Chains A and B, each alone.
Chain A
């Protein structure tokens, strides 16, 4: 049997048993990377603020929510945890501060919130929904969020998206599940000035979608 190495010679925190859980958590946070981190420099290079810009919004918290929106108990429980009730109207988004709830289906929503590695929001939601017939599932990391903005953002999307994205039919606060570049994603409009869209793409398709967007943007930004 190998002798245990003296603590002084061991790399700090190795083997993992020597590090406290908190230290390990901190290290894990340093080590994690988002799906588009490897191409983040190219996203910056492809962007031109006065035409079209693309960026990843990494590490958003995402929670899948199922329930009956017509039941006040469900709506109130969600509101108490997230700050806003799930929208009843199809294809709309409810926003409160940095938290948003996207309508995905008549009894299905996606809660999107800032980075929350401790799962505090999910814990709050699960506690609030404990006595309600509903489900809240952590889907963080399922979808990458790509933000596309600028005066030409709509023109870029219109190259591949079959929706009518004119502000009259696609105003701020609208979300649709659709296809672009053979990829399913949710498209949300978050701002009118400049026009800003968020694309919720499954993480394994994020790189493909980013490449597609950069290619589609080139004619507007002049950057290849």
Chain B
């Protein structure tokens, strides 16, 4: 049993939630122009990662909202939850999306 921190309601038992598969899979802008292979790629192919995995969940029996979760598929550790449309929090070992500036500063410091 996982304790899932719903971004709206706080920590709730797993039974209140339903799983929605891999997150951040964009629907093709123009499905009619896709080949069968491309369509199958969109429809069926999933990352099936071992380790940190971004997935969708819905708090079915609580607030009925969808949200994203970054969970480790081997240890079940929940690294982060974030609302739909919110910026992706970095996975462990992944560079944070907003880390560009500090990196530049570090380089400057190194050249001095």
Q: Give me the interface of A with B, judged by CB distance under 8 Å.
A: 90-91, 104-106, 108, 162-163, 176-179, 184
Contact = CB atoms under 8 A, between A and B. Distances in A.
B9 A91 contact: yes
B15 to A, nearest CB: 6
Q: Is the interface of A mostly helix, strand, loop or mixed?
A: strand
Given A90-B63, A176-B62, A179-B16, 16 more contacts: A90-B9, A90-B10, A104-B63, A104-B64, A105-B63, A105-B65, A106-B8, A106-B63, A106-B65, A162-B15, A176-B9, A177-B16, A177-B61, A177-B62, A178-B12, A184-B61
Interface in B20-70: 61-65
Contacts of B64: 104-105, 108, 177
Contacts of A106: 8, 63, 65
Given A90-B8, A105-B8, A106-B8, A162 B63 contact: no
Given A162-B13, A162-B15, A178 B8 contact: no
Contacts of A179: 15-16, 61
Contacts of A108: 63-64
Question: Closest 3 interchain pairs by CB?
Answer: A105-B63, A162-B13, A177-B62
Nearest to A185: B61
A178 B61 contact: yes
A180 to B, nearest CB: 10
Interface residues of B, number: 12
Interface string B62-90: 11110000000000000000000000000
A91 B12 CA distance: 12
Nearest to A103: B63
Nearest to B63: A105
A196 B65 CA distance: 28
Contacts of B9: 90-91, 176
Q: Which of A90, A108, A184 has the most CB of B within 10 A?
A: A90
A65 B53 CA distance: 35
A177 B8 CA distance: 12
A179 B61 CA distance: 7
Contacts of B16: 177-179
